[in-house]
Amino acid sequence: MIIETLLYLLLGAFVGLLAGLLGVGGGLIIVPILAAMFVYNGLPYEIIMHLALGTSLASILFTSISSVYSHHKHQAVNWSRVSKLSPGVLLGAWLGGLFASTLSTDILKPVFATFELLVAAYLLWGVKTQTHENTPALLNFTISGGIIGYISSIVGIGGGTLTVPWLMWHGSSIHKAIATSAAVGFPIAAGGAVSYLYAGWGHDLLPQHSMGFIYLPALISIIVSSIMFAPLGANLAHKLDVKKLKRIFAFLLIGLAVYLFLS
């Protein structure tokens, strides 16, 4: 149990460092590594991806608070857009979690791996997002928020890789988009985490110390260490070449995707 906890703490520290350094969500790293650790620790294979996805979203629910507060202090969050996206995001994340909970681990693994490859391709070759519509209609916010929440919940992420380009497409600067996306990540994580908790409640294969498809030992350790290391990553971001680090991160995602395909 001690070694298991130490590994979860290391994972949280790594994720927190990356989040502060690159501004990327931790779900892309948390989910595949948790899945591997759950297999190693002998948790039921049939639900390892469900546990990894639910635990990832639950951790983002807590760790996003400090990120949003920091962005809010710099007056970078567009709260009007957050409020317009949130209803669709919450509903989409809830439905996405329910849908993912009906799928088998053998289906969820290649789905997540494919998404990681798409994100890696975007980081390596993605083009700069251009503004096309400064004042989207409320219906656009609702539908777009639903789609972002739905996809994010299925793959256990805070949605930044989807929300930031959408916000920039609709007139937000890169800094405003990142800050606003961080705030949108909270309702995504809330809707998704509650959905996985509900869908997994009372499941026959749940290990001890689980609440639905949320594994508490991993959740607590990841929250503690990621919150501690995120400020360090933010400080390093001003001293290191972030563009090169993003390329390294992209290749890490490719490696994790290949692992999920082959495992």
What average pLDDT does the structure give for the chain? 88
pLDDT of residue 17: 80
Interhelix angle 216-236/27-40, rounded to 10 degrees, is 140
Task: Report the distance separating Cα 223 and Cα 235, nearest Å.
Answer: 19
Q: Does residue 26 register a pLDDT over 90? A: no
CA proximity to 144, closest of 127, 169, 119? 169
Tokens 């993605």 locate to: 126
Question: Which pTM value belongs to this model?
Answer: 0.92
Average the pLDDT over 40-54 and give the result: 95
Could you tell me the residue range of the domain that residue 184 belongs to?
2-262
Average the pLDDT over 43-64 and give the result: 93
pLDDT of residue 226: 85
Top pLDDT among 187 and 161 is at: 187
**What letter represents residue 123's amino acid?**
L
pLDDT of residue 164: 85
pLDDT of residue 21: 67
User: Using one digit for the tens of pLDDT, what is the confidence trace for 72-122?
Assistant: 777 888 999 999 999 999 999 999 999 999 999 999 999 999 999 999 998
Average the pLDDT over 41-66 and give the result: 91
User: Using one digit for the tens of pLDDT, what is the confidence trace for 228-256?
Assistant: 887 777 667 667 776 777 788 889 899 99
- Residue 210 pairs in a beta bridge with 215
Q: Does residue 173 register a pLDDT over 90? A: no
User: Using one digit for the tens of pLDDT, what is the confidence trace for 176-219?
Assistant: 888 888 889 899 999 999 999 999 999 999 999 999 999 999 99
pLDDT of residue 24: 62
pLDDT of residue 216: 96
Percentage of the residues of the chain whose pLDDT score is greater than 90: 56
- Tokens for 171, please give them: 């007139």
CA proximity to 186, closest of 158, 156, 208, 151? 158
Q: Does residue 151 register a pLDDT over 70? A: yes
CA proximity to 76, closest of 175, 144, 143? 175
Average the pLDDT over 9-29 and give the result: 79
Query: In total, how many domains does the chain have?
Result: 1
